[in-house]
Amino acid sequence: MKDIIILAIETSCDETSAAVVKNGHEVLSNIIYSQIKIHEKFGGVVPEIASRNHINKISEVVDEAIEKSNLNFSDITAIAVTKGPGLVGALLTGLSYAKGLAFVLNKPLLGINHIEGHIMANYITNKDFTPPYICLVVSGGHTNIILVNDYGKYKVLGKTLDDAVGEAYDKVARGLNLSYPGGPKIDALAQNGDPEYIKFPRVYLEEGSLNFSFSGIKSSVLNHINKTKMKNDSINAEDIAASFQRAVVEVLVNKTIYACEINLINRVAIVGGVSCNSELRRLMSEQCLLKGLQLNIQKNIYCTDNAAMVGASGYFKYINNMFDALSLNALPSLSLDEY
């Protein structure tokens, strides 16, 4: 069978990324230009600035992805690009570039759902991990428990009713005067803190619910910080970070394991930026071992936003002839049901 080579482009938020992926799992190149340094001083991603920087970098990043793959544009089978969800201006930059390339090179275009991309990252470098499984998607914009019945067959079992878990991390980090993105900084601080220092609320919602709510714990942490400041007491940032992290991770892990039990599934995966979190990895590994569940975790570089996951997703779209017309538009609020 002829190799299927996907050139993939991802620009849904603050990473300009392009990758070349062979047969859905072999990453020939994965170039990521992160805008974090630019947005850091604003405490979060500024959409207009993100779009402008994608425009400045996209051509360079795509050329580098082709060069590093040791292939030529003519070797590409199809072009995959994130169509949503994400920031509309940022998405449009990648989408317009991909459409231009598809037209000029006369290659098929594949529009990819960013959340599905995170899920498809499970297959990169790991052909042995197969559906069905329960996937916990945890990022700056999403918190979902998904039953992956088959490649491209999803059932959303739970979602956040308010903040995404990464968003809660970023907001708590800001309260501790840590710069954006706060997740990795809280994770690092927590290494030296006491996770039992404060018992922050664990929100499970109604019995049996697989939905999440993180705004309560976020407010509880910020209130604690403000009260401490008002009393002129010193803030134990390490203990606060560890206590917050323990509370959030306990809920994520318990709900994911519960989803496996009620659906009689014995495989679990965690994807998205927050799946880099050391405490989430530790507790999920411990619980999966205890319950006899197989756990799949990707390398950090495929957890945070990257185009390789878009390339993996593009492969499955390609083999199922799910092509898009050049009239494809950005879909900022796309959900997984509409993948």
Near Zn ion by CB under 5 A: residue from 16, 69, 139, 160? 139
Of 24, 131, 175, 182, which lies in the binding site for ligand KG4, with binding defined by CB under 6 A?
182
Q: Is 85 in the site for ligand KG4 (CB under 6 A)?
A: no
- Smallest gap from Cβ 321 to ligand KG4, in A, equals 28
Burial (0-12, 13-18, 19+ Cβ within 10 Å), 129: middle
Kindly state the helix (H) or strand (E) to which residue 31 belongs, with its residue range: strand 26-34
Told to check if 274 binds ligand KG4 by CB under 6 A, we report yes
- Which helix (H) or strand (E) segment holds residue 161: the answer is none
* From Zn ion, ligand KG4, none, interface partner of 311 (C-beta below 5 to 8 A by class): none
Map the footprint of ligand KG4 across residues 129-148, applying CB under 6 A: 139-141
Q: Which is nearer to ligand KG4, 184 or 314 (CB)?
A: 184
Binds Zn ion by CB under 5 A, chosen from 305, 313, 316, 334: 305
181 binds, among Zn ion, ligand KG4, none (CB under 5 to 8 A by kind): ligand KG4
- Which of ligand KG4, Zn ion, none does residue 89 bind (CB under 5 to 8 Å by kind)? none
3-state secondary structure (DSSP) of residue 137 = strand
**CA-based angle 311:312:315, to the nearest 5?**
85
Q: Which does 101 bind (CB under 5 to 8 A by kind): ligand KG4, Zn ion, none?
A: none
Nearer of residues 181 and 193 to Zn ion, judged by Cβ: 181
Question: Does the footprint of ligand KG4 cover residue 276 (CB under 6 A)?
Answer: yes
Q: Pick from 84, 94, 131, 184 the residue near ligand KG4 by CB under 6 A.
A: 184
CB of 279 to Zn ion, least distance (A): 20
Strand 26-34 versus strand 133-138 pairing type: unpaired
Collapsed DSSP state (helix, strand, coil) of residue 113: strand
- 153-159, strands of its sheet edge to edge: 153-159, 143-150, 133-138, 267-271, 294-297
Taking the CA atoms of residue 175, residue 181, residue 182 and residue 185 in that order, the dihedral angle to the nearest 10 degrees is -140
What is the enclosing helix (H) or strand (E) of 157? strand 153-159
Beta-bridge partner residues of 16:
33
> Candidates 21-29, 172-180, 236-244, 305-313 — which segment interacts with Zn ion by CB under 5 A?
305-313
Distance between CA atoms of 5 and 217, rounded to whole angstroms?
44
Q: How many CA atoms lie within 13 A of 249 on its CB side?
A: 26
Stretch that binds ligand KG4, among 23-31, 87-95, 181-189, 250-258 (CB under 6 A): 181-189
Q: Which of 111, 131, 183, 195 binds ligand KG4 (CB under 6 A)?
A: 183
Which residues lie below 8 Å from residue 35, measured CB to CB, with a gap of 6+? 14, 15, 16, 45, 49, 50, 53
**What's the token pair of residue 4?**
């299927």
Please, what is the minimum distance in Å from the beta carbon of residue 129 to ligand KG4?
19
In the complex with Zn ion, the residue whose CB is nearer, 11 or 287, is 11
Specify whether the CB–CB gap between 200 and 242 falls below 8 A: no
**Residues facing 29 on adjacent strands:** 20
Q: How far is the CB of 39 from ligand KG4 (least distance, A)?
A: 12
Shortest spacing between CB 252 and ligand KG4, in angstroms:
11
Using the minimum distance from each CB to ligand KG4, give the nearer residue, 107 or 143.
Answer: 143
The residue to which tokens 């017309």 are assigned: 325
Question: Contact positions toward Zn ion, by CB under 5 A?
Answer: 139, 305
Question: Contact positions toward ligand KG4, by CB under 6 A?
Answer: 13, 139-141, 166, 169-170, 181-184, 187, 272-274, 276-277, 304-305
